[in-house]
Structure 1
Amino acid sequence: MKMQKKPNKPNLLLITVDQMRGDCLSALGHPVVETPNLDALAHRGVLFRNAYSATPSCIPARAAIFTGMSQRSHGRVGYQDRVPWTYEHMLPEELAKAGYHTQCVGKMHVYPTRNLCGFHNVVLHDGYMHYNRYKHGVAAAEHFDACDDYLRDLKRQAGFDQDLLDSGMDCNASTVARPWHLAESLHPTNWAVTESIDFLRRRDPSKPFFLWTSFVRPHPPFDPPQVYFDMYKDLEMPAPPVGDWVDEESAMHGDPSPVTAFRKLEGRRLSRAQAAYYALITHLDDQIGRLLNGLNEHGVLNDTLILFTSDHGELMGDHHYFRKSLPYEGSAKVPFLLYDPGANLGLQRGTTVDRVVELRDIMPTLLEAAGVPIPESVEGASLLPLAQGQAPAWREYVHGEHTAGPLSNHYITDGRTKYIWFSQTGREQLFDLTADPQECADLSGSAEHASLREAFRARLIEELQDREEGYSHGTELIAGRTPRPVLAHIGQH
């Protein structure tokens, strides 16, 4: 019997999680969370210590992954649903055209909801999507019961009718926690791995594959299986950092914004939320280990390049904030690992990279690894040279931003210093991330740091020059302009 010839291009596995902080790896010395499988990837692969989500919420972050473009070019600078995805070049499409068998399992968060974006197939679970949950004004093809593959499987496997909010927990309730109420095998994290392993079984073996396993957790609801919650619920949790710049009186009253929540929360409720959040991460870590084992059992582990990251972080009480969209490290910084089990690409195993990277670098990295031409529209850069120990010319900083009502913001960071500008008020902040990684001391008013503040401000002025909102005309920053979550060149629904 003639053996099937293996593809000569590497398989590609992109693993993304939703709302995981960049510091939540035990390999980085986190005092509580345990991530043995991700730690193994870090020890055997390359760990990028200064990886950022330039637009830290689900939709714009995924636009950067799909297109390799900056937010100015992909046009999503805030969170807005129901804006069509019509980009000319997207990662799965470029790989499919180059002969890859492409599959996504889990969260896409694109529009229309069933838009394949170049994948051959998508097994979908976006989580609780408000716009397709409404019972009025929603076309049948957009309704959640038609869009969510996980929910249909859940109802069938549970043997009785199930819905995503049956536990009583909302999808953005970052301070509410309780254990998963069904068998662990029915949890969406387990489902994503089960479906990913099933793809390994039914893939075309004559082609290399691109598999994107896209988890919804640890995004709320904070509902880990009981065994994982039990690992953390009685531990002493680290107190979130609170900067000397925080308005404590306002935090006492709170602001339950739909984008980010600001309130002073202490005691059992905060500890339970932290415990459940860390438990979800450890649960994810175990399931990622299960996926890696599946790759090994199917004989493709050593032929596969693995990239792991998150779309953004979770503030989890930092400076009394929860959720995402803000420029602080808990929200904007993400974990980022590159692992080549078969040592086929010359990566420097067990090394760390301190250069500042971002999500738009994923597309060119995977395309270069696959030997696929990188479209001119891509503005990110391949990380392979950095991971191979080379010293290529590299960006000096990342520009990030997000519309968030009165907290709409922009930031500039090189991984050592961060400058923040709130576009509605003109407020500035400056942090020394080397000496103060938790951003507790605002240096923006320090005469000693005035020249540094002005240098970073000049970078932001240049980045925002001639933006349609009118934030900058090249000489100064202009506060009070109306923020827009979607720029005009990609249109609004």
Structure 2
Amino acid sequence: MKPNILLITVDQMRWDCLGVMGHPVIETPNLDALANKGVLFRSAYSATPICIPARAAIMTGMSQRSHGRVGYAERIPWNYAHTLAGELAKANYHTQCVGKMHVYPTRNLCGFHNVVLHDGYLHHNRRKDHTTADTHFDSCDDYLQWLRQMTGAQTDLTDLGLDCNASTVARPWHLEERLHPTNWAVTQSIDFLRRRDPGKPFFLWTSFVRPHSPLDPPQAYFDLYKDVDMPDSPVGTWVDQQAAEQSRNDPTMLFGIIAKRRLDRAKAGYYALITHLDDQIGRLLNALQEAGVHQDTLIVFTSDHGELMGDHHFFRKGLPYEGSAKIPLIVCDPGGQMGLKIGSEVREVVELRDIMPTLLEAAGVPIPHTVEGSSVLPLCKDKFECWRSYIHGEHALGQLSNHYVTDGKEKYIWYSQSGREQLFNLVDDPLELTDLSGTDEYKTRLNDWRTILVKELDGREEGYVDNGYLVAGRKPQTYLSHISV
């Protein structure tokens, strides 16, 4: 019998927000236990750290250059020949997604037999002048329909007054905890375990919207953190303090200084959402045991990207710094069927495009030629001869459009509009406090990394490379032309 597969993803969770990672404040006992019984990855990244491209990497196993989504662009159809769910469905898996897909059209199945959808509060999907009856939020979102049935009112996701990008504002959830979207995702996932075809292995993707803002944890979880004196966020010596001082108070800002009290409250809400998620993930894992399938199920946990939460006075995601681009990744085989090295850690650099080939290999399903990622199962068994030496990441973000390359030990960053370069030694300086790009000691390493990025960008339609040199100021694109036809 092929293994069942449970893929658990959360949205906007930093790599370091796990107790097992040594976080000084957060409590994540269920995820810590999953890591202790499985394999914990120390250098996992999201190549394009924002929702849509990250999910394209998970679903297709492609690099951003191939899946074509190199920034945040709505209304670009998802027409991929091979998807994770599609390949598993062809191999006789019963496939289901619960929660966030963030694809277009909104109800595109992307190879799943069924999707119980909640993409969260997305500005585009709420604009009636941008959508049709089959893509508008009120029509498409299964959670909202359920919530209104449960409350008997025209309840909406905006009732708390919080924006979906308000990373600096936190308020407790105003309804019963069981009505929270995190609880709903687990309830629906458990219901799938009841309704699944018992004659087939299953692939269940439980895709949570939180801890993405709005920061609205249930009251009991907010109370765990609201009075904690939070450690200060790291601020590098390279940060423009004067510019940060000029940006204050906007709850959806990307860069700026906010009062410590407000920042601590935002962190309290963010950590509370993660602990709430941890408890609900524990509930889902317990349901696997009650269904008698826990020992037959491969479990993978990760996030689509991080949340800067004040690091270097930045918020949200899209930037190449660790708080944004680095993600948690845990692989666990409770039944020990696959020979993973229990309780081990992997330090090789991995990326979201590696999830699809990992799950296909675990299922014994052929990996399509379009997949550019690599299965991490050999890393989990400590039986690999060679691995990639780096990954390339990027994000089209206006004047902050950026590219980065890293091996998990060093990181080179190039801002494509200004030409600014940065280099960090992640072993000695994991908080990225000191930019080494201008030092004589690292001059050779800077040139080595620059050469690698030139290789990655050579031939790109944006024209980032000319005659072997990086060219600043070329117009960034949020998607590449080959996916818009």
Q: Does 1:462 align with 2:455?
A: yes
Match of 2:307 in 1: 314
Instruction: Name which of 33, 38, 41 aligns with 1:45.
Output: 38
CA distance in structure 1 between the aligned counterparts of 2:97 and 2:232, rounded to whole angstroms: 37
Match of 1:325 in 2: 318
Pairwise CA RMSD: 1.2
Match of 2:268 in 1: 275
> SS state of the match for residue 220, structure 2?
helix
Q: Does 1:353 align with 2:343?
A: no
Instruction: Name which of 385, 391, 404 aligns with 1:411.
Output: 404
1:47-62 mapped onto 2 (5 Å cutoff): 47-62=40-55
Cα distance, 1:404 vs structure 2: 0.6
Q: Does 1:448 align with 2:441?
A: yes
Cα distance, 1:391 vs structure 2: 2.4
Match of 1:162 in 2: 155
CA distance in structure 2 between the aligned counterparts of 1:255 and 1:353, rounded to whole angstroms: 40
Per-residue CA deviation, residues 112-142 of structure 1 (Å, 9 max, x unaligned), is 0000000000000000121221132421111
Moved over 4 A (4+): 255-260
Match of 1:5 in 2: none
Match of 2:111 in 1: 118
Identity of aligned residues (%): 68
Q: Does 1:266 align with 2:249?
A: no
Match of 2:62 in 1: 69
Between 30-39 and 390-399, report the one with greater CA deviation. 390-399
Conserved 8 A contact 2:11-2:303: yes
Conserved 8 A contact 1:90-1:117: yes
CA distance in structure 2 between the aligned counterparts of 1:228 and 1:187, rounded to whole angstroms: 12
CA distance in structure 2 between the aligned counterparts of 1:471 and 1:406, rounded to whole angstroms: 15
Amino acid at match of 1:303: D
CA distance in structure 2 between the aligned counterparts of 1:43 and 1:239, rounded to whole angstroms: 28
Between 126-135 and 199-208, report the one with greater CA deviation. 126-135
Instruction: Name which of 74, 79, 101 aligns with 2:94.
Output: 101
Cα distance, 1:254 vs structure 2: 1.6
> SS state of the match for residue 41, structure 1?
helix
Change (3 A) 1:448 1:401: same
Match of 1:477 in 2: 470
CA distance in structure 1 between the aligned counterparts of 2:435 and 2:253, rounded to whole angstroms: 21
CA distance in structure 1 between the aligned counterparts of 2:250 and 2:83, rounded to whole angstroms: 32
Cα distance, 1:255 vs structure 2: 7.9
Conserved 8 A contact 1:466-1:474: no
Conserved 8 A contact 2:167-2:251: no
Per-residue CA deviation, residues 231-260 of structure 1 (Å, 9 max, x unaligned), is 000011010000000000100112899996
Conserved 8 A contact 1:462-1:474: no
Conserved 8 A contact 1:430-1:444: yes
Unaligned runs of 5+ in 1: 1-7
Match of 2:129 in 1: 136
Instruction: Name which of 384, 389, 394 aligns with 1:391.
Output: 384
Match of 1:254 in 2: 247
CA distance in structure 2 between the aligned counterparts of 1:482 and 1:179, rounded to whole angstroms: 41
Cα distance, 1:393 vs structure 2: 1.5
> SS state of the match for residue 140, structure 1?
coil
Instruction: Name which of 4, 9, 13 aligns with 1:20.
Output: 13
CA distance in structure 2 between the aligned counterparts of 1:94 and 1:255, rounded to whole angstroms: 48
Amino acid at match of 2:270: Y
Change (3 A) 1:101 1:39: same
Match of 2:167 in 1: 174
- State TM-score, norm by structure 2: 0.99
Between 182-191 and 385-394, report the one with greater CA deviation. 385-394
CA distance in structure 2 between the aligned counterparts of 1:236 and 1:311, rounded to whole angstroms: 28
> SS state of the match for residue 349, structure 2?
strand
Conserved 8 A contact 2:408-2:426: yes
Conserved 8 A contact 2:248-2:257: no
Between 296-305 and 470-479, report the one with greater CA deviation. 470-479
Conserved 8 A contact 2:168-2:251: no
How many residues were matched structurally?
485
Cα distance, 1:31 vs structure 2: 0.4
Amino acid at match of 2:405: I
Match of 1:434 in 2: 427
Q: Does 1:245 align with 2:238?
A: yes
Cα distance, 1:102 vs structure 2: 0.1
Unaligned runs of 5+ in 2: none
Per-residue CA deviation, residues 13-38 of structure 1 (Å, 9 max, x unaligned), is 00000000000001010000010000
1:80-91 mapped onto 2 (5 Å cutoff): 80-91=73-84
Amino acid at match of 1:437: P
CA distance in structure 2 between the aligned counterparts of 1:76 and 1:137, rounded to whole angstroms: 20
CA distance in structure 1 between the aligned counterparts of 2:157 and 2:48, rounded to whole angstroms: 27
Amino acid at match of 2:11: D
Amino acid at match of 1:394: W
Conserved 8 A contact 1:410-1:420: yes
Amino acid at match of 1:220: S
CA distance in structure 1 between the aligned counterparts of 2:135 and 2:251, rounded to whole angstroms: 23
Amino acid at match of 2:124: Y
Cα distance, 1:461 vs structure 2: 0.4
Cα distance, 1:473 vs structure 2: 3.5
> SS state of the match for residue 265, structure 2?
helix
Per-residue CA deviation, residues 276-332 of structure 1 (Å, 9 max, x unaligned), is 000000000000000000000000000000000000000000000000000000000
Conserved 8 A contact 1:409-1:420: yes
> SS state of the match for residue 322, structure 1?
coil
Change (3 A) 1:380 1:132: same
Cα distance, 1:488 vs structure 2: 0.5
Instruction: Name which of 316, 340, 344 aligns with 2:333.
Output: 340
